[in-house]
Chains A and B, each alone.
Chain A
């Protein structure tokens, strides 16, 4: 089982998002970066699948040179190979991103070791385009399921489960395939020390695709205007319970 996991480097925002003065980006001077949450789970899922069925995990990201950091995170967890589609720092749209991921899958197939499964996050935490996985699947002519919270693979068949209005629906299709996952499919492991050391030394295969414009063009980012006011303090500790009880009564939520 050859699996390619596609991950994205996103800013780690804590209590607040700040936009740069030119309105083009999230201000990351005070923030770190991390792998987008759904994709952390995609990496974990790929490792678990190869632990059960054998095979190898490759990890890919499209991003600036610093995105190699997120590839090394995945290598430390157990991915065996990393591919960086290196950009000049401009933001890429979902159409071109999908084309370049599909191009990597074809390169690998041409090299005689094609992927059986591509795993992505359901959507990136930052841009939230909800479409890269589906577009990759179309480019390759592979079946695709999105928002998946459970994967079983038997022979060449994938059984993928997702939540639907509090219940569950099941999709069954053949490999090769594209599956996008959501956080909750598993609980990602922490990297081991030997894993970290291995990741530090690992070579990263790098390509430099050409940026291109898309039909959807960002003009500016802004924080929505909401009324941010400080909460009215009802009191301290258990002394506040009578006031809290009165409030719940006024809200009409008491039995």
Chain B
């Protein structure tokens, strides 16, 4: 089987989400399949792609198409479907991956299955299109949908929080193709014209420690101890939806279905009841510890450990204990 996979770049290399999508795509392609990476920009080192089993890389260099232009990227994928006879086209379910695949679906008139957890070809119908058995996420992963996808090729994004990035058992032999895309009028009408530089500091999405605050914090003035604790642990503060809806904290700090999905080593959820939309954002934390005055709060059935008590007393005491420990060390 031939599978095309959009590979997004992060600095000089393939983005982590794309490595996860490549892992998924390699499974779909099968051991004797062709796994073709589609890269916009300066191609990352070939060994890195080959390690993930990529057999072909189609590289669209900046001289051909500079910057991010969602419709143009979709057009390039549509052209590569023709050129390679691909059975499936995949991308990570990131902002860009989802957007480009939606354009590809609209350009080709094909269905697009978002945030797939698995995809298995169940065979072509006699005289018909390919059929696939898929499992995809709904409700940001709180529900799974079993579905049949009838489409040639299959178009899908990958739910990257469910696939670990795993290199192939043995690296593939990689052929790099400098691809010259054929674009249509208007394909560049929408393109990213300015990308601000990354702001300094630890980001919520990648922080190793997240100290969460919910309704129990009580108001916009209650966050100082959480901030102090987060800063002591080299982490950041994340909040629940009620906190941003009330305007206590900016939305960029929201953890949840409509905010950021976090993947820390430790999530310390303080005064957070544990609405399921919040769990959708923090379920990938390695360890969840709850501090809550209500021993029957739903968060306690998602957390590994809990302290039953008032966060306004527990957190300052914890901060003091950490500082005392630092002083004696």
Which A positions have Cβ atoms within 8 angstroms of B?
A: 13-17, 19, 26, 37-38, 93-95, 123, 125-131, 133-135, 137-139, 143-147, 162-174, 182-184, 187, 214-224, 226, 228-238, 240-242, 244-245, 247-248, 251-255
Q: Shortest Cβ distance from B156 into chain A, in angstroms?
A: 9
Inter-chain CA distance A254–B199, complex, in Å, is 25
Q: Shortest Cβ distance from B125 into chain A, in angstroms?
A: 12
Given contacts A128-B139, A171-B193, A253-B208, contact A215 B203 (CB under 8 A): no
Q: Tell whether B322 is near chain A: CB-to-CB under 8 Å.
A: yes
A-B contact pairs, 25 of them (CB 8 A): A37-B241, A128-B139, A130-B115, A134-B106, A138-B103, A146-B70, A147-B99, A166-B205, A172-B193, A174-B189, A182-B258, A216-B147, A216-B149, A222-B144, A224-B144, A228-B302, A230-B300, A230-B301, A232-B305, A233-B295, A234-B305, A234-B307, A251-B266, A251-B287, A253-B235
Q: Which residue in chain A gives the minimum CB-CB distance to B95?
A: A147
Q: Tell whether B177 is near chain A: CB-to-CB under 8 Å.
A: no
Given contacts A146-B95, A217-B148, A255-B326, contact A14 B275 (CB under 8 A): yes
Q: Tell whether B289 is near chain A: CB-to-CB under 8 Å.
A: yes
CB atoms of B191 and A236 under 8 A apart: no
Q: Which residue in chain B gives the minimum CB-CB distance to A215?
A: B111
Instruction: For B298, list chain A residues within 8 Å (CB).
Output: 15-16
Q: Shortest Cβ distance from B174 into chain A, in angstroms?
A: 26
Instruction: For B326, list chain A residues within 8 Å (CB).
Output: 255
Instruction: For A183, list chain B residues within 8 Å (CB).
Output: 244, 251, 254, 258-259
CB atoms of A166 and B244 under 8 A apart: no
CB atoms of B199 and A167 under 8 A apart: yes
CB atoms of A146 and B102 under 8 A apart: yes
Q: Tell whether B164 is near chain A: CB-to-CB under 8 Å.
A: no
Q: Which of B58-66, B79-87, B308-316 contacts A (4 or more CB under 8 A)?
A: B308-316
Instruction: For B307, list chain A residues within 8 Å (CB).
Output: 233-237, 240-241, 244
Q: Within the complex, which residue of B138, B149, B265 is in contact with A128, where a contact is CB–CB below 8 Å? A: B138
Q: Shortest Cβ distance from A7 into chain B, in angstroms?
A: 15
Inter-chain CA distance A232–B252, complex, in Å, is 31
11 extra interface residue pairs, beta carbon distance < 8 Å, beyond A135-B106, A166-B203, A244-B289? A17-B143, A144-B70, A167-B195, A168-B195, A183-B254, A215-B149, A216-B134, A223-B143, A228-B301, A232-B305, A240-B314
Instruction: For A172, list chain B residues within 8 Å (CB).
Output: 193
Q: Tell whether B4 is near chain A: CB-to-CB under 8 Å.
A: no
Q: Shortest Cβ distance from B265 into chain A, in angstroms?
A: 6
Inter-chain CA distance A16–B295, complex, in Å, is 17
Q: Tell whether B238 is near chain A: CB-to-CB under 8 Å.
A: no
Q: Shortest Cβ distance from B320 into chain A, in angstroms?
A: 8
Instruction: For A228, list chain B residues within 8 Å (CB).
Output: 301-302
Inter-chain CA distance A205–B46, complex, in Å, is 57
Instruction: For A237, list chain B residues within 8 Å (CB).
Output: 307-310, 313-314
Q: Tell whether B42 is near chain A: CB-to-CB under 8 Å.
A: no
Q: Tell whether B12 is near chain A: CB-to-CB under 8 Å.
A: no
Q: Tell whether B217 is near chain A: CB-to-CB under 8 Å.
A: no
Q: Tell whether B5 is near chain A: CB-to-CB under 8 Å.
A: no
CB atoms of A166 and B143 under 8 A apart: no
Instruction: For A37, list chain B residues within 8 Å (CB).
Output: 241, 257-258
Q: Tell whether B151 is near chain A: CB-to-CB under 8 Å.
A: yes
Given contacts A164-B95, A236-B307, contact A26 B143 (CB under 8 A): yes
Interface positions of B from 100 to 122, Cβ below 8 Å from A: 101-103, 105-107, 110-115
Q: Shortest Cβ distance from A62 into chain B, in angstroms?
A: 18
Inter-chain CA distance A224–B235, complex, in Å, is 29
Q: Tell whether B10 is near chain A: CB-to-CB under 8 Å.
A: yes
Instruction: For B274, list chain A residues within 8 Å (CB).
Output: 15
Contact with A along B195-230 (1 / 0, CB 8 A): 111110001010011000000000000000000000
Instruction: For A216, list chain B residues within 8 Å (CB).
Output: 111-113, 134, 147-151
Q: Within the complex, which residue of B190, B198, B283, B325 is in contact with A144, where a contact is CB–CB below 8 Å? A: B190
